[in-house]
Amino acid sequence: MTRKIGAPLLLVILAVLLFFLSLQFGVIHLHTSALSLIGKGGSVDAATVWDVRFPRALGAVVIGAAMAIAGALAQGIFRNPLAEPTLIGLTSGATLGTIIGIATGFAGYGSGRNCLTATLGVAAAALITQVLAPNKNFGFLLTGIALASIFTSISGLIISISHQAGIQSLSFWNFGSLSLINFSTVRVITPFIAVGIAIAFFIARGMNLWSLGETNAYFLGINIRKFRLLAILAIALLIGPSVSAVGSIAFLGLLVPHVVRLILGPDHRNLILLSGILGSIVLLIADFLARAAFQPHEVPLGLLTSLLGAPVLIFLLRSRRSQWVSE
């Protein structure tokens, strides 16, 4: 019981500390404490903190939570411990949706329309994977991986031939970076993500039943089709806008829920809350490292999450301590 209150509390404190750290440190050296700049403007320091670092840290909190919760939902709804949105093509679906939106001139980067096309991209990817995947051992995962490379290739093709201004380079979409985020992007994506998180909490209890399999969930009164659609909608609302703003950030959705399950067990009600907080923390750290570790260069933070997350994936594949047993 103490764990169930203590862990979230500890993580929230950590998140606040990291948030402050993100405001204080970066390429530009501040002459005063970021805290002393609250409510002040005018100076270079103030502009650095409020116009650049603050929206960026806010973006890390929102998007980190979104991607980690989406990972927890994807693993739960597809009943697969490796169903990470990047791995199974959902993120590529978001990228493709974003790029189609931008390339056709329907949506500008960071706009609400862009969130919409990205969300549709995720939902389409999830449904296509679901329909095409053969019901065998790794059928689902491999289908997702195959679809991911199809979506990525199409995105690359479109980027190569598009003359649309504002279409970012392929590496931005593949390796994710918070460098383009500003207040307006955060304002646009947050309502989408908030709805996604609300749905996630709404279906958390049902996700527990769902872990017994669709048929058993149905025995216990769950409308299978509606429930799955709701989960996919939540995942799409979480992943789509995030990717449209910062590109694909790999492994966050894999890493975080597994760590939370190890600490607190598999109950989705805790899992979703804690994954959200821990996701924010991991992305704050990753973005901080991306900005600070290789100065004066800034590296795409998706590279860092991959470097951190891929070994975890290998560990999980070899470990029995992942809280999942195979069927």
Per-residue contact string for residues 75-94; x = within reach of other proteins by CB under 8 A = ----x---------------
- According to the binding rule CB under 8 A, does residue 35 interact with other proteins? no
Rounded Cα distance, 252 and 171, in Å: 18
**Closer to other proteins by Cβ: residue 54 or 140:** 140
Compute the least distance from the CB of residue 75 to other proteins, in Å: 9
Compute the least distance from the CB of residue 11 to other proteins, in Å: 21
3-state secondary structure of 211: coil
**Closer to other proteins by Cβ: residue 29 or 327:** 327
Using CB under 8 A, pick the residue from 44, 220, 293, 314 that binds other proteins: 220
Using CB under 8 A, pick the residue from 52, 154, 190, 267 that binds other proteins: 267
Residues 6+ apart with CB under 8 A from 191: none
Nearest alpha carbon to residue 276 among 203, 201, 166, 219: 201
Query: Contact region for other proteins (CB under 8 A) — 44-52, 108-116, 128-136, 317-325?
Result: 317-325
Using CB under 8 A, pick the residue from 137, 205, 263, 319 that binds other proteins: 205
**Closer to other proteins by Cβ: residue 78 or 173:** 78
- According to the binding rule CB under 8 A, does residue 213 interact with other proteins? yes
Question: Which of 295-325 are b and which e, b meaning 16 or more Cβ less than 10 Å from the residue's Cβ?
Answer: eeebebbbbbbbebbeebbeebeeeeebebe
Considering CB under 8 A, how many residues would be counted as binding other proteins? 25
- Interacting residues with other proteins between 98 and 157 (CB under 8 A): none
Query: Contact region for other proteins (CB under 8 A) — 32-40, 139-147, 247-255, 319-327?
Result: 319-327
**Closer to other proteins by Cβ: residue 64 or 253:** 253
**Closer to other proteins by Cβ: residue 44 or 262:** 262
Nearest alpha carbon to residue 255 among 19, 69, 61: 69
Q: Which residue has the tokens 């994807």?
A: 74
- According to the binding rule CB under 8 A, does residue 326 interact with other proteins? yes
Question: Which of 194-219 are b and which e, b meaning 16 or more Cβ less than 10 Å from the residue's Cβ?
Answer: eebbebbeebbebbbbbbeeeeebee
Rounded Cα distance, 52 and 180, in Å: 9
Burial class of residue 9 (count of CB atoms within 10 Å of its CB; 0-12, 13-18, 19+): exposed
Rounded Cα distance, 285 and 61, in Å: 10
Using CB under 8 A, pick the residue from 163, 215, 296, 318 that binds other proteins: 215
Which pairs from 99-103 meet CB under 8 Å and 24+ separation? 99/155, 99/158, 99/159, 99/162, 99/167, 99/173, 100/158, 101/244, 102/162, 102/164, 102/166, 102/167, 103/158, 103/159, 103/162, 103/164, 103/167
Compute the least distance from the CB of residue 228 to other proteins, in Å: 12
Helix axis angle for 224-246 and 90-103, nearest 10°, is 60
- According to the binding rule CB under 8 A, does residue 209 interact with other proteins? yes
- According to the binding rule CB under 8 A, does residue 319 interact with other proteins? no
- According to the binding rule CB under 8 A, does residue 253 interact with other proteins? no
- According to the binding rule CB under 8 A, does residue 221 interact with other proteins? yes
Nearest alpha carbon to residue 75 among 59, 90, 97, 61: 90
**Closer to other proteins by Cβ: residue 266 or 309:** 266
Using CB under 8 A, pick the residue from 157, 212, 263, 307 that binds other proteins: 212
**Closer to other proteins by Cβ: residue 295 or 326:** 326
Chain contacts with other proteins (rule: CB under 8 A): 79, 205, 208-209, 211-213, 215-216, 218-224, 261, 265-267, 323-327
